[in-house]
Amino acid sequence: MSDPTDTTPLAGDGSGLPVAGTVPMQGAAAQTLPANVQVGHDKTFVIFSGDLDKTIAAFIIANGAAAMGRKVTMIFTF
């Protein structure tokens, strides 16, 4: 495993295509959680607007989260 503070840039292969790789995290983001800590990934959306375009956008985002296996709750306040 590489040093988490390594800032070496990713090198391309000269083809001009995007380079796939990982970007090392630094500082507080580089810290890992203990094994016994569970991080919640449930999503809650509060929809304040009754505009159709904003409501559809909220459904699209919520559908993406549900497709990733997240529990999604949507609250409508209009």
| SS3 readout for 22-34 | CCCCCHHHHCCCC
Question: What amino acid occupies position 6?
Answer: D
The rounded distance, in Å, linking the Cα atoms of 67 and 43 is 12
pLDDT for the residue 17: 61
Look at residue 1 and tell me whether its pLDDT is greater than 60. no
pLDDT for the residue 64: 93
Instruction: List C-alpha distances in Å: 54 to 24, 33, 51, 62.
Output: 35, 36, 6, 12
pLDDT category of residue 78 using cuts at 50, 70 and 90? confident
pLDDT category of residue 74 using cuts at 50, 70 and 90? very high
- Specify the length of the chain in residues: 78
Query: For 18-48, how does the pLDDT look when each residue is reduced to its tens digit (9 = 90+)?
Result: 665 655 666 655 566 667 766 778 999 999 9
